[in-house]
Structure formats: structure tokens, C-alpha cells
Amino acid sequence: MICLDALSVDFDGRFQLHDVSWTIQPGEHWLIAGANGSGKSALAAVLAGDGQGLSGTLSGLPDRVALVSYERQAELIEAERRKDDADILDVISEGTPAAEIIDAVCQDHDLAQTLIDTLGLRPLMGRAFRKLSTGETRKVMLIRALTSRPELVVLDEPFDGLDHDSLMWLQGHLSVLAETVPMVIVLNRFDECPEFITHIAYVDDGHLLHQVKRDDERAFAELYQLLHLKTSELEVPRADPADRLPALNSGDPLVRITGATIRYDENTVFENLDWTIEANQSWQVSGPNGSGKTCLLSLITGDHPQCYVNDIRVFGFQRGTGESIWQIKQYIGYVSTALQWEYRVGTGLRNVIISGFFDSIGLYTKSTETQRAIADDWLALLGMAERADEPFNSLSYGDQRLVLIARAMVKHPPLLILDEPCLGLDEMNRHLVLALIERICASSETAVLYVNHRSEDRIPGIDNHLTLSGDTAS
């Protein structure tokens, strides 16, 4: 049993893993998953003894751990280059042949010869390792690992750079090897996950956030959806060119609030609040219960009676000059727990998203082919492409929230207001919602107004923060 207990590790000041607790039991094979830069490779490298421990413990590592990674590959090539340093050596080194790189750790020479032939490396065995292509050096690294009689195999993106025949062979060989040797594999593409994998570890920002058994269908499906949102190349779907909103004046802010005060008798919620939201500028608004977050939102949407006694300009309209509430709300996408409670319909998911074009709860208007295609694109982004006709009220609470965010975004409103979007969600669904918000911030021209309790619960891509604390804002 390999056990990491509250382990924090530093990698040359470039990256840190934080407070990782993880146990690999005998007979388990793990996939480490996560977005680029999340710490997948760092966690794998720890199992090979890399990194400087800061706190916590690591126990149970076997003596022979085989690691294949781009970092180890680069280290070997750099070592070879140093041998060829003309300032040190009197002769020009030809470099270590690939065969010697393999022989240095090989414990099974018959297997090595089989792998050399299978992976098509026989003609290259006399060539200097550093002069091989990236794919060729990766194959040499794999042969080194698989012939060293390892007690633990750690493979970081082992299928990258392999041709189809080599890939198929390697997958088959690993399946056989997994019967006797535990494996930990890092993959960016979740669909390449080998059948023998029993558990998935999800890493984000240097933290091990989720550990899921592969046979736990519900947890596995949620993790797959999270990885899809984090790592897929799908972009936020296009707007419907036939359903464009009236153009706003270029250069004008979306919202400008000047010296706003909300007061009920003796109770002042906040006072003298100045706030400007520019086009394409996303904000996170935080604060405890009663600090005025909902009041602030309702000043923008026009649902608060005191919006007309404050100096508020939204989407080019000065509040209180005869504008209708619908002139304002057409530019806003809105998601809240209250909306989710109201949206108690058995409408299929495609139609729920299409209803966002009409700002209706349920769909009562015939949709166009373009609208249906856009809705399907949103379902694909959410990892729900096969669920277009599934009834909305049969979804989990977290999946309902995702679909309602897509519904709010389908018109690409200039401003998307998400009022406590993670309220009532478990940890996995919370990460799903945050991943979708992050994708929207990165891939659209919509300004996102993300409202939550905790200022520290930040989303990459949102750099502007407003914190309410009862009667003040910062």
C-alpha cells in the first residue's frame, strides 16, 4: 500500500502540490486526470521520488518505480548534451547510443529485444539517443521502463507520439502487465483511459480534489463531465444571427451606479456605492448574508423599488426616465436558485435551452432549425449531447443548474448574472458549475457577474472583485 498523508511538495519553486492525501491499495490502477497545469504530472513524479517534501508523509513506495514522462525524457537528453560540451571534452562525443540507454536499467533482455522489434526501433539502436525524434525517444523511454522489472509503473501521457500500430500494441501489453504490476497513468484525453484502470484521481491547482471508483457510475459520469468541460476543445456556441439584440453604444459601460444607498427605515444595507461594469468585464461579488448582494443585483435588473431614487444607468438607459423593465432585461441572462425552483417542467433539455431565446419557463413557441442546432452545441459543451430529449425535471440538481446557465447564455447577453450559482451543490457539481463559468469567461464576449458568499472562492478569468460587508463595499 502506497500512502500520501497531507503531503505538500515543491518542484524547484515552479509548482507545488498541496496537502495531498491519497492511498493506492494493492490491485488498484489509477488514472490521474485534470486540465493542463493542474498538477497531474507533479503528482505522478512524486511517486518516483521527485520534488522536495514540505510537509506530510509518503510511505510504501517500492524500490523499483519506472517513470516515463516528458520531464524525464528532457532530463536524459540534457544529460547527453552535457557530455558533448566542447569546453570540457577534447573530443566531440557522438552521444550514447539508444541501445545503451535501454541496457543501463534493463532486467529482461529478451523482452527488450521483442519491444525493440515491435516498436520498429531496431535500425536506430546504434544512433545517439539525443538525435532521435521525440516519438522515437518516447519509445526508448517506454522500453526502459517496461524492461526494468518495475514494482510500480508510472506513465505520463504514454500514448503521445505513437503511431496507430505501436499504440494498439502498447495498450495490449499494459493490460497484460496490469495483472501483476500496479500502474498510475496520466492522460489528457479521458477517452484513452485503459480498461484496466480501477480508480480516477482528479487534480486541480495543485490539489487532489476527487478520487472516484470507476465502477461508481454516478460519480464517474460527473467526473467525466467535469473533465469534458475543463479539457475539451469545444468553444462556447455561437449566437443566433436572426435573434440579435439591439446594439449598445460602443464605449459606454454596461452599468454605472453612482453613490447608491439602500435603506429600510433605520437599517442601511449599503450606502454611497460607486460601481461601473464595462463591456466584456467580468466581476465576482462576495459578501455574507445580509450584506446587500441581492439588493445590488435587483438595482441592475430593475426589480428593486429604490432603483428609481438612485443614480443608475444600465445599457444606455438612465433609470427612472420611462424605460420599461423588459428593455433592460433583454440584455441580461440570469440564473439563481429561485429560478431553478420555478423551472419545474418536464420539457426536454434541448427545449429548456431554446426557451432562453424567448425568456420563458417552458417552450411555447416553435423553434427554428438554427436555434435547435445552437441548443445541441450547448449540450455538447456540457457533455450532455446524448441527453437532448431527457426531461429537465429528471436531472440531478447540479445538471439542472448547468442547463439553466446554458439557457441564460444562449442569446449571448451582454451581461450574465449568476446569483449564488453553487448554492445547494455538492463539491463535484460545484466544480462543474465553476468550470462552465470559467469557460464562458474565457470564450465569450459576455460580461459575467458572479455572486457568491466567499471572496476567496475565485474563478480564473474573473479579475475584478467587489466585496460587500453590510454597509461598505470594497
Residue 90 has a pLDDT of 57
Percent over 90 (pLDDT), the chain: 51
- Nearest residue to 62 (alpha-carbon basis) of 180, 164, 158: 180
Same fold yes or no, 2-231 and 241-467: yes
What DSSP state is assigned to residue 196?
Answer: T
Residue 58 has a pLDDT of 96
Q: Which CATH architecture has domain 241-467?
A: 3-Layer(aba) Sandwich (3.40)
Residue 473 has a pLDDT of 61
Confidence of residue 87 (pLDDT cuts 50, 70, 90): very low
Under DSSP, is residue 46 helix (H, G, I), strand (E, B) or coil?
helix
Is the confidence at residue 344, as pLDDT, over 50?
A: yes
Confidence of residue 84 (pLDDT cuts 50, 70, 90): low
CA distances, 240 to each of 222, 353, 369 (Å) = 30, 13, 10
Residue 262 has a pLDDT of 87
Mean pLDDT of 438-454: 89
CATH number of 2-231: 3.40.50.300
The pTM score is 0.77
Is the confidence at residue 264, as pLDDT, over 90?
A: no
Domain-wise residue ranges, the chain: 2-231, 241-467
Higher pLDDT, 14 or 307: 14
Report the b/e string of 16-27 with b at 16+ CB within 10 A.
bbbebebebeee
Residue 451 has a pLDDT of 92
What DSSP state is assigned to residue 296?
Answer: H
What sign results for the dihedral spanned by CA atoms 160, 196, 198, 222? positive
60 CB-contact burial (10 Å; exposed 0-12 / middle 13-18 / buried 19+): exposed
Is the confidence at residue 374, as pLDDT, over 90?
A: yes
Where do the DSSP E strands lie in 120-278?
152-156, 183-186, 199-204, 207-213, 255-264, 267-277
Report the b/e string of 379-413 with b at 16+ CB within 10 A.
bbbbbbeebbebebeebeebbbbbbbbbbbbbbbb
- pLDDT averaged over the chain? 88
The 3-state secondary structure of 418-465 reads EECCCCCCCHHHHHHHHHHHHHHHHHCCCEEEEEECCCCCCCCCCCEE
Residue 265 has a pLDDT of 80
